[in-house]
Structure 1
Amino acid sequence: ELYGKCIAPFHLPMRENGKFTGYVNVLQQRAKKWKDDGTVEKCDVPDYSNEYLEKYRELLIEAVAETSEEYMERYFDGDDFSDDEIRQALRVNVSECSIVPVLMGANTEAKGMYTLMVDIIKYLPSPDKKECSGINAKTNEVYPANYDFSKPKSAYVFKTMVDPFVGKYSFIKVNSGVIKTDDTLFNHHKDVEEKAGKLYVLRGSKAEEVPELHAGDIGALSKLNKVSTTDSLSTKANPIVYIRTAISTPYTYMRYKVMKKGEEDKAAQALSKIMQEDLTIKTENDPANHQTLIYGISEQQLELVVERLKENYKVEIELKKPRIAYKETILGNSDVEYKHKKQSGGHGQYGHVKMRFEPLGDTNKDFEFEQVVVGGSVPKNYFPAVEKGLAEGVLSGPLAAYPVVGVKVTLYDGSFHPVDSSENAFKIASKGAFKKGVMEARPVLLEPIASMKVVVDNDYTGDVMGDLNKRRGRVMGMNALDNEKTEVEAEIPYAELYGYGTTLRSMTAGSGEYSYEFLRYEQTPHDVQEKEVEARANQLEGEEE
């Protein structure tokens, strides 16, 4: 009902006592059962399969009839098609992607592999009919590689495997020419040449060394340090570039911490190897919030990375909810005075400033400093020290120790001591005045807002919009897409993005997709601000302890 004739079962399963024992060939209308030695023997079609056998065979015959007018007339006249005619028509359907064949097998029991291989030969397009083209980087002309071994060598790196014991393998598809042991290959993307070294063909988990790889072959190169997945390899005299495979952007991220002190470098090196294998994994240092982030497609993927680090690299990390990059600003004005005075034998410290604080109107700037001092109450040579104190003050605001933005500060008066005043004294005074001035100017938290797009089947649109509303999201629009899908555009706080991927997959049976990008900062609601200020105070107190 959902896919129609597009999804076409070529086999139906046979079970005995709850076990998978064989299959019914829909095309041949014959049943086959596996024997203990892995071969098959013919048997009668089970009664419970007859109803589905007739139904699915009829769908296959209809698909065959639609391949030509001659077949359609024969179908309506009630003529039967031979097995060869059916196979040829199905081959056309499969090549055009109008039919997706579904076969039966059990890889854990090594059953159905031979049938799969035979049907691949019968129905899938032959590789020698496949066109493959790149771009000659020197001439910018199309290079028709077409798996021709007589042309200059070129290959595409489609996968990377890094083994803690064996090392790095770069899996390649040779698109033209012949690659031999110790050939020098040119990587146009990195603008480097590297020696290929040994060539391998992987059979299961075993790497078998081979002297050469021909056009159309899939093989592996070892220890090419600068080559990465989606790179193209060729020769410097004939540099060929192939279109890179599109890699999904990872949007799920978590904070991670290495469990044992002193293993930070070990964890970083292990993660670097994992990221070479999986381009959807990336790490990012966030110094503003004192955290290191790891990105992936889903939370499950990140949990698998943790397991791999533990099992393969013997290093443990802990995943935690990421800290949000809040900022602080002011909504009102204030006029403050701050005096730093200290006497401790010899020269003392004295700095005295009077400042006005007001919103700058631009939260993209930290602060703007202006001085209107008259009469030399604060000497000009101390102005840079005052500004330096402000620059240090905006790094950690007085409300919740987040960076401060969008503040205009005006120094209009103060005083100095001819002996005890110094640049350091005025810097300290300025920093103290900043904290006092911000707290008296109605400070608020700003939270980052993301512009989000969610693509879901029409049936799930209501559930998705309801969930976005619960997350303080604002739906900005909806766009109808092909295939009965809807794109929901919304604005949502970063604080509410945590766990969204898992929730979306649960709501949409795994069919929903989402993406987002930073949009702007805006004022945090009062109740959210109170909770965050309290949580931040407890966090800072715990770090001090």
Structure 2
Amino acid sequence: MVDRTVAAPRAEEPRDIRNVALVGPSGSGKTSLVEALLAESGEIRRPGNVEEGTTVSDHDGIEIRRHRSARLTLAPVMVDGVKVNLLDTPGHPDFLGAARAGLRGADAALFVISAMDGVDGRTRSLWRECAALGIPRAVAVTGIDHPRADFDAVVARCREAFGPGVHAAYVPAFEGSGDRRSLVGLWGLISERYYDYSGGEAVPRPVPARLREASGPLREILVEEVITESEDETLMERYMEGGELDPDLLIADVQRAVAAGGFHPVLALDTIRGVGVRELLRELPLSCPDPTRRPLPHVERPDGREVEGMSCDPEGPLVAEVLSTENDPYVGRMSLVRVFSGTLAPEVDVHLSGAVSDEEERAGEREHSGSPFVPAGPRALPVGEVFAGDLCLVSKLMSARTGDTLSSTERPLRVRPWTFPDPMMPVAIAAASSADEDRLSRAVARLVSEDPSLRVEVDSETRQMVLWSLGEAHLEAALDRLESHHGVRVDTEEPRVPLRETFTVPGQGVGRNVKQSGGHGEYGVCRIRVEPLESGAGLEFVDRIVGGVVPRRYVPAVEKGIRAQMADGIGDGFPLVDLRVTLYDGQAHAVDSSDMAFQKAGRLAIRDAATTCEPALLEPLDTVTVEVEGSDLGAVLNDLSARRGRVVGTETVDDGRVVVRAEVPELEIVRYAVELRALSHGTGTFTRSYLRHERLPGHLEHRVARPRSGDRDT
């Protein structure tokens, strides 16, 4: 519900905005941290309350958290006059597309790590992606109050996983031991400020001697790192001489290093009691860069020419990008938008530009934009104009898809979209009822427009509609949205692998179509020789008729019949391929012969040849490229071998990961997206592409799903 009685969080200029993506595995506490930050700033009253903490208008009752865990959400908060847009990204590996969208909309990333669970492979991969994009990063360690949590060990694991530059900036203080240990304070190593939380509120006090003794070495390491990277050369001289260093100067250096991406502070948090939340909230505006300090994505004209000199300027040409879209059954279609340049006004016409590949079909598409608003708990607050550097939700963009660019109708522009993960797990879907069937195609098209990490295709050979996803959770969320948001129920089944047939030895066949029962009959006889060809050759038809035994005008009909029968198959219903068919003899009738008679004769000839040419099934073979950590290489190679795969090469890439190239039967990799993730502890990725068909071993034919009755014409 849009609430027009409350003022929305608003910045005065782009320099007063910070866009921060929260990144981390499922269960690390990202959403709880967002709610704690909102509570600390006064945006909501009770952290952890589902209704108060909802960051996008959502009325799904107990399903709220399940839906939120699968999508990117926005939560703006004001801190000392600075608007901080928190982008809560999904933590499950299946929602990598939404996580990348969050990084596209952000200018800094806060990696949220559970003190008990540590760093998983997907989080390491996203850290590398941020490093490649030059996005500043910090680390928040949650659950530090757990009796078995070891903050020093977590920092060490983060440094091992993320590399140099990771240092503790705030360390926790405890009282007691074992299960009776309790978190009582937090020490800022640079600021030298200690906050006592033993009474529930943060109270400044002197640093406890035991804490200084235990964590003093961490501070020395941190200070030396800051001084080494500092632009102030006098700091090193004073430090070497044992002089006193101004904490404010060190803090300023740390903030510059964080914004530049060379230093990654680690903060300890207890979101339930609020320990460290205030400190984090205060650091975000100081350490994260504003949008004017980050380069814009590649902007180009509709003809593909790059636009030079683009910047985060509210007076510049409008360039905004749709980070995510959603069809809410109550609110309607909503688009989460990042404005890179210019100003997005309410209720105006905008130009929609899609990806380069589909720009031609969508050229000139105009859409009427609704009023921009921002979420605030369960409410939506209108914001009026949204200028460069800011984020908002926009309604009524009915044709907009995730990754689309919004620009002015007078000056259409396009942002080159970010890289979407390629879905690799297929499932066949079919409408659950005739009523669902009427709406299925449109609903699936909308689903894919919301989430480009999904792909749908209709297999011309198996006649199945196949939905491709990133994994089981991704698929479950997609099917749930189909029913709850689009009103379409579907049944799922294993996708049928498109097998084919061929003949393994040469042979001959006779097609005799003679029907005379009084009146006009049918008469067509043809004799053929059949030879197998190499994979991918298709059908080679050879005319060797002499003497006019088959009149010239009927030869194309024989070929047409042969091709039709090969498409339908001759036994199991799989297409027949890779044959040379030579027509060398036949018979015709002056009255009863016709094109149709010889088409049927051609069909019968192929069927007859099948009785002696030893048909065999062919299975599709894919080229599979797998990228894994070096430590997982052995397990992956053994697994590929068990899948009848042939490894054709391996290569070590710059970051120590290994790329494996193999040829693997499609029958063996239907669920490889899920199984590779288990093998590689979540770090493995792969791509696949069709290579060729090869003969299916006879002992595996029982695994083949035959086409259902009615799937093919007979």
TM-score by length of 1: 0.87
Q: Counterpart in 2 of 1:316?
A: 489
Equivalent residues of 1:7, 1:101 under 8 A apart: yes
Q: Counterpart in 2 of 1:172?
A: 337
Give the superposition deviation at 1:450. Answer: 1.5
Higher relative contact order at CA 8 Å, sep ≥6: structure 1 or structure 2?
A: 2
| One of 219, 222, 238 as aligned partner of 2:411 | 238
User: In 2, Cα distance between the equivalents of 1:475 and 1:133?
Assistant: 38
Q: For 1:91-490, what aligned pairs fall within 5 Å after superposition?
A: 91-105=255-269, 113-132=277-296, 135=299, 137=301, 140=305, 142-189=307-354, 190-361=363-534, 363-365=536-538, 367-490=539-662
Equivalent residues of 1:134, 1:145 under 8 A apart: no
Give the superposition deviation at 1:394. Answer: 1.0
Equivalent residues of 1:352, 1:429 under 8 A apart: yes
User: In 2, Cα distance between the equivalents of 1:162 and 1:22?
Assistant: 45
Give the superposition deviation at 1:521. Answer: 2.2
| One of 89, 92, 110 as aligned partner of 2:253 | 89
2:261 aligns to what SS in structure 1? Answer: coil
User: In 2, Cα distance between the equivalents of 1:52 and 1:346?
Assistant: 108
Q: Cα gap change, 1:23/1:274 in structure 2, threshold over 3 Å: closer, same or farther?
A: farther
1:531 aligned partner, one-letter code: H
Equivalent residues of 2:349, 2:408 under 8 A apart: yes
Q: Does 1:65 align with 2:227?
A: yes
User: In 2, Cα distance between the equivalents of 1:375 and 1:47?
Assistant: 111
1:515 aligned partner, one-letter code: T
User: In 2, Cα distance between the equivalents of 1:354 and 1:543?
Assistant: 26
TM-superposition CA deviations, 1:336-383 (whole Å, max 9, x none): 223233344543433322111112446242x12222223333233322
User: In 1, Cα distance between the equivalents of 2:287 and 2:667?
Assistant: 50
Give the superposition deviation at 1:114. Answer: 4.2
Q: Does 1:531 align with 2:690?
A: no
Equivalent residues of 2:542, 2:581 under 8 A apart: yes
TM-superposition CA deviations, 1:436-462 (whole Å, max 9, x none): 213422322222222222111111111
1:374 aligns to what SS in structure 2? Answer: coil
2:197 aligns to what SS in structure 1? Answer: strand
1:120 aligned partner, one-letter code: L
| One of 693, 697, 700 as aligned partner of 1:521 | 693
Give the superposition deviation at 1:392. Answer: 1.1
Q: Cα gap change, 1:195/1:262 in structure 2, threshold over 3 Å: closer, same or farther?
A: closer
| Aligned-pair identity (%) | 30
Q: Which runs of 5+ in 1 are unaligned?
A: none
User: In 1, Cα distance between the equivalents of 2:526 and 2:181?
Assistant: 85
- Looking at secondary structure, tell me which structure has more strand per residue: 1
Q: Cα gap change, 1:385/1:521 in structure 2, threshold over 3 Å: closer, same or farther?
A: same
Q: Cα gap change, 1:430/1:349 in structure 2, threshold over 3 Å: closer, same or farther?
A: same
User: In 1, Cα distance between the equivalents of 2:676 and 2:187?
Assistant: 38
Give the superposition deviation at 1:219. Answer: 1.9
Q: Cα gap change, 1:106/1:312 in structure 2, threshold over 3 Å: closer, same or farther?
A: farther
Give the superposition deviation at 1:97. Answer: 2.2
User: In 2, Cα distance between the equivalents of 1:8 and 1:245?
Assistant: 30
TM-superposition CA deviations, 1:52-100 (whole Å, max 9, x none): 7445434422421321454445555555544323322222332232333
Q: Which runs of 5+ in 2 are unaligned?
A: 1-155, 355-362
TM-score by length of 2: 0.68
1:99 aligned partner, one-letter code: F
Q: How many equivalent residue pairs? A: 538
Q: Cα gap change, 1:195/1:516 in structure 2, threshold over 3 Å: closer, same or farther?
A: same
Equivalent residues of 2:193, 2:204 under 8 A apart: no
1:103 aligns to what SS in structure 2? Answer: strand
Computed over aligned residues only, the root mean square deviation of the Cα atoms, in angstroms, reads 3.4
User: In 2, Cα distance between the equivalents of 1:107 and 1:277?
Assistant: 32
1:488 aligns to what SS in structure 2? Answer: strand
1:168 aligns to what SS in structure 2? Answer: strand
Equivalent residues of 2:522, 2:594 under 8 A apart: yes
1:228 aligns to what SS in structure 2? Answer: coil
Equivalent residues of 1:349, 1:422 under 8 A apart: yes
User: In 2, Cα distance between the equivalents of 1:48 and 1:525?
Assistant: 71
User: In 1, Cα distance between the equivalents of 2:426 and 2:214?
Assistant: 46
